[in-house]
Amino acid sequence: MRKIYISKNYINIIAIVAFSFALSIVGVQISSVFSLVVVWRFIKSPILLIMNTLPITMFMLFVFFITSRLWASFFFGGTPFLIFHFVNRFKIRLRHEPFVPADIYLGNESTKVINLSQLPFNAKLYALIALFVLFSLFLLIYIKSKPMKLLPRSIGVLLTVVLSIFLYNTAYSSTSFYNKFKIYGSQYSQIDVVNSRGFIYSFLIKTHTFDLPVPEGYSPSDSENILSKYNVEKEDNVKLPHIIAIMSEAFLDIDKVEQIEFNNGYNPLENFNKITAQSYYGKIVTTIFGGGTSDSEFSFLTGHSKTTLSDFANPYINLIRKDTYALPWILGSKGYKTTGFHPGFPWFYNRYNVYDYLGFQNIFFIDDMDIDRENTYYVSDMDTFKFLLDDFDNHLNNYPDNPYFNFTVTIENHGPYANYDMGNPEIIKKESVDSEYYHIVNNYANGLMSCDKALGYLIEQLEKINEPVVLLYFSDHLPLLGENFSGYKAMNYNIGTSEDLEAYLNTYETPYFIWSNNLAKNLLKDQGKIPFVGKAPYISVHYMALELFDYIGLNDTEYFQYLRELREEFPVMTSRFYKTRDGIFTEELNQYQTEKINEYKLLQYYMLFDKDVESLR
């Protein structure tokens, strides 16, 4: 075969553009595990295809202007992108999450993600690699381009660099534009998001958002010095109670809303009210409304407040990328066997990986449950608690000398709530209330009653267990009862993020209580600790684990000792208001208070990224 000589450089540029689109389609195939349906979606959405192809085009043009060789542009320009797609594919297959910039940032930690011996290569992948190499050789041997002169090559290099920088800081930094593209599947599945919007485009967008900016004045040694002030003698040989912490989905103590009246025979919170009357009961202020469950999980398990961590889309996806100091690590170091349980899918908020990073020794999801999933939209709290109790029973049989810690997230009463009559007339219908909003609130209340029955069952079983058990029960956020707070407004409930202080706090308040069975009460009393009963403090959600530690008398962890002091200064922290030690809410902090918040930011950064958990293993 005779060599083909290309004398016009515009033909080379056209060829490079065509090659980049071809490689982009191949990359989509690799990342989507060879799905023609996904490829067709990109073809039908040319803007999305262009957004995923432009980076390849720019890099291939850059290589071409440097080398003046078409084969070099194709091979050296395309290889990095194909490698990224391969890594993304393998990470999805092996770790159930896409490849993100944080994996590169973490250095050695990212090598744990992929083990070469486990890579799921197959015939299609080998064929793609072979075709890519063969076509590169074809271009090398049979296609010869006229060498460009130095000046046009230099101009070409400069233009591609400038244009690439411009695009990166404009088109590839706009999350609002990125979020306009449709998601096929679940918005909570990063795999679905990346497959829907393209890996290359998603990866570049995340380079602007994945990393928490280093706080001004930060140094690991300074943070260690701060924590050293709170170093106390470790409490050894102290018998500790079993701990169960339950985060209840979208729990609102709806009977506290003055405008709500229930029909005879309906009391959606009968058990909850009986339990809280004998417990340590109060309100927490979360950072979310109507969704974003993992934000409250994150704050409870780590002691970190989202209000001081910039506006991240989700801490489980953006922040937790390696073993991170958290409640399970702490309790595990004290002999607890720790379990994290979510009766949903493991990819939901990336819990499959995050629970491991946070130190849970055992992790369970819906696939571990023996239930009828065909007739189940969200797993009921009753099924969830029965699974929890079975796991607790297994623990007592296998590890009788170790205390048990279980963190369970419930999902039964997850929204959205139907806006039509489902035959459960719990709430008295008032003429002034629109039927649509009435049904939303009423159907939510019916879900509450089901959750309440499960809670009553759980307490009943824990009272029978011949072991000391402490139960923490709290909610992640309030339910979304229609758009623009419509369901709440129908109840004349004062709520809103831009309204007065009362409305703002009502938007983020959720209930919590700490309960213990008689054996736990006696255990704590024998150790000189008084089990709290009655009104619990009004605090932010990131103090929730600290409140649990106070209840059981655990006072020997440096970071939580620091949080005790911070709680005195700021019992409540929100993105708008702070409650200070004198009980006043303010939007303006004085110099001392500002310094305390900045110190907290430094310590949070240290605990998230530089704190070593090896000593807790």
Q: Are residues 530 and 589 in the same domain?
A: yes
What's the confidence (pLDDT) of residue 115? 45
pLDDT in tens, 49-81: 999 999 999 999 999 999 999 999 999 999 999
Question: Of 376, 143, 432, nearest to 259 (Cα)?
Answer: 432
Q: Are residues 531 and 560 in the same domain?
A: yes
pLDDT in tens, 11-21: 999 999 999 99
Average pLDDT over residues 275-296: 94
- Residues 362/328, Cβ–Cβ less than 8 Å: no
Local structure of 323: helix, strand or coil:
coil
Question: Of 31, 32, 23, nearest to 85 (Cα)?
Answer: 31
Rounded Cα distance, 257 and 361, in Å: 40
Kindly report the average pLDDT of the chain as a whole number.
90
pLDDT in tens, 231-270: 888 777 789 999 999 999 999 999 888 888 899 888 999 9
Give the confidence band of 449 by pLDDT, cuts at 50, 70, 90. very high
Out of 206, 229, 244, a domain closes at 206
215 in any annotated domain: no
- Residues 411/379, Cβ–Cβ less than 8 Å: yes
Q: Are residues 467 and 521 in the same domain?
A: yes
**Token pair in block for residue 213:** 């900016």
**295, amino acid identity:** D
- Residue 437's alpha-carbon distances to 264, 418, 482, 496, 594, in angstroms, are 21, 9, 7, 17, 42
Q: What is the DSSP letter of 308?
A: G
- Residues 172/205, Cβ–Cβ less than 8 Å: yes
**299, amino acid identity:** S
Cα angle value 358/361/367 (rounded, 5°): 95
pLDDT in tens, 382-430: 999 999 999 999 999 999 999 999 999 999 999 889 888 988 888 888 8
Q: What is the CATH number of the domain that holds 543?
A: 3.40.720.10
Question: Of 306, 353, 361, nearest to 330 (Cα)?
Answer: 361
pLDDT in tens, 146-182: 888 999 999 999 999 999 999 999 999 998 899 999 9
- Residue 612's alpha-carbon distances to 118, 325, 545, 587, in angstroms, are 28, 8, 20, 35
Is residue 234 within a helix (H) or strand (E), and if so which, with residue range? none
Average pLDDT over residues 553-579: 95
Half-sphere exposure of 118 (CA within 13 A, CB side): 13
Write down the residue that tokens 């629970």 correspond to.
355
- Residues 33/174, Cβ–Cβ less than 8 Å: no
Rounded Cα distance, 44 and 51, in Å: 13
What's the confidence (pLDDT) of residue 362? 98
What's the confidence (pLDDT) of residue 265? 82
Rounded Cα distance, 468 and 445, in Å: 33
214 in any annotated domain: no
Per DSSP, what are the bridge partners of residue 217? none
Per DSSP, what are the bridge partners of residue 534? 280
- Residues 100/206, Cβ–Cβ less than 8 Å: yes
Percentage of the chain lying above the pLDDT 90 cut:
65
211 in any annotated domain: no
Beta strands in 62-192 (DSSP E): 143-145
Q: Are residues 238 and 200 in the same domain?
A: no
Exposed, middle or buried: residue 388 (CB in 10 Å: 0-12, 13-18, 19+)?
buried
Percentage of the chain lying above the pLDDT 70 cut:
94
Question: Of 545, 543, 524, nearest to 533 (Cα)?
Answer: 524
Give the confidence band of 210 by pLDDT, cuts at 50, 70, 90. low
SS3 track for 466-478: CCCEEEEEEECCC
Q: Are residues 258 and 145 in the same domain?
A: no
pLDDT in tens, 349-361: 889 999 999 999 9
Out of 149, 172, 206, a domain closes at 206
Rounded Cα distance, 467 and 518, in Å: 9
Q: Is the pLDDT of residue 487 over 60?
A: yes
**305, amino acid identity:** S
Q: Are residues 195 and 298 in the same domain?
A: no
Q: Are residues 285 and 202 in the same domain?
A: no
Number of folded domains that form the chain: 2
Give the confidence band of 376 by pLDDT, cuts at 50, 70, 90. low
Give the confidence band of 9 by pLDDT, cuts at 50, 70, 90. confident
Question: Of 414, 394, 280, 413, nearest to 339 (Cα)?
Answer: 394
Average pLDDT over residues 579-607: 95
What's the confidence (pLDDT) of residue 428? 86
Half-sphere exposure of 535 (CA within 13 A, CB side): 2
Q: Is the pLDDT of residue 114 over 60?
A: no
Q: Are residues 479 and 542 in the same domain?
A: yes
SS3 track for 475-529: ECCCCCCCHHHHHHHHCCCCCCCCCCHHHHHHHHEEEEEEEECHHHHHHHHHCCC
Write down the residue that tokens 């092996």 correspond to.
94
Out of 206, 239, 264, a domain closes at 206
Q: Are residues 227 and 179 in the same domain?
A: no
213 in any annotated domain: no
Say what the pTM is.
0.81
Q: Are residues 66 and 19 in the same domain?
A: yes
Rounded Cα distance, 312 and 309, in Å: 7
Per DSSP, what are the bridge partners of residue 509? 285
212 in any annotated domain: no
Query: What does the radius of gyration of the chain's CA atoms come to, in whole angstroms?
Result: 28
Q: What is the DSSP letter of 541?
A: G
Average pLDDT over residues 270-276: 97
SS3 track for 366-387: HHHCCCCCCCCCCCCHHHHHHH
Average pLDDT over residues 504-533: 95
Per the omega criterion (within 30 degrees of 0), is the bond before 403 cis? no
Structural domain that includes position 251: 220-616
Q: Are residues 229 and 141 in the same domain?
A: no
What's the confidence (pLDDT) of residue 111? 44
Q: Are residues 249 and 107 in the same domain?
A: no
Question: Of 21, 65, 55, 19, nearest to 165 (Cα)?
Answer: 55
Cα angle value 483/487/488 (rounded, 5°): 110
Buried b / exposed e over 147-158, threshold 16 CB at 10 Å, is ebeeeebeebbe
